[in-house]
Amino acid sequence: EDGGCNGTWLDRYSWPQPEVAFPWGLAIGPDGSLLVPDLTYHRMFRYSQPIANLALPDLAVGQASLSVSYRNSLNAASLSGPKAVALDRSVSPNRIFVADSANHRVLGWADDTRRVNGAPADLVLGQPGFFTATAGSGLTSMNNPSGLAVDSAGNLYVSDPGNLRVLYFAEPFKN
């Protein structure tokens, strides 16, 4: 066996609504769910049963509902061009981070079990608040964050390609 792909699972052109237009950066939840940021439709879907035939998402983060796909206003519940998702498994319940690239920030939710469609984030990194989206190069700002990783101690690493660097946040929910 060559270990190749077993077939297309999520295909924009043949899958039922709601579709994923531009999936970018994936994560697997502790329960086996699949988290898929959608760059074009400004949201992140959670698929609780990702391998099921004709699986549909059961949660939308960054939009008010599963069927909404437009660019939304800037606030704690909105995403614009999300490119990455990461889970902090150092705590239970897990925390979730999403690289909200076009808003030059990373949003964080303290409890991945209480998320509902359109739930606001509990934490913003890279901006002074939830209502700003300015690219910057200082230690408290970002320019198009595109990758995320969380280590076993809950420290967050953010790739910040607009500034040619990787940022480190020591236990961001505690600081």
The Cβ of residue 74 has, within 10 Å, a number of other Cβ atoms equal to 16
pLDDT of residue 37: 87
pLDDT in tens, 35-57: 888 877 778 888 887 666 557 78
**pLDDT exceeds cutoff 50 at 164:** yes
pTM for the complete prediction?
0.84
For the purposes of burial, counting CB atoms within 10 Å of the CB of 92, is it exposed (0-12), middle (13-18) or buried (19 or more)? exposed
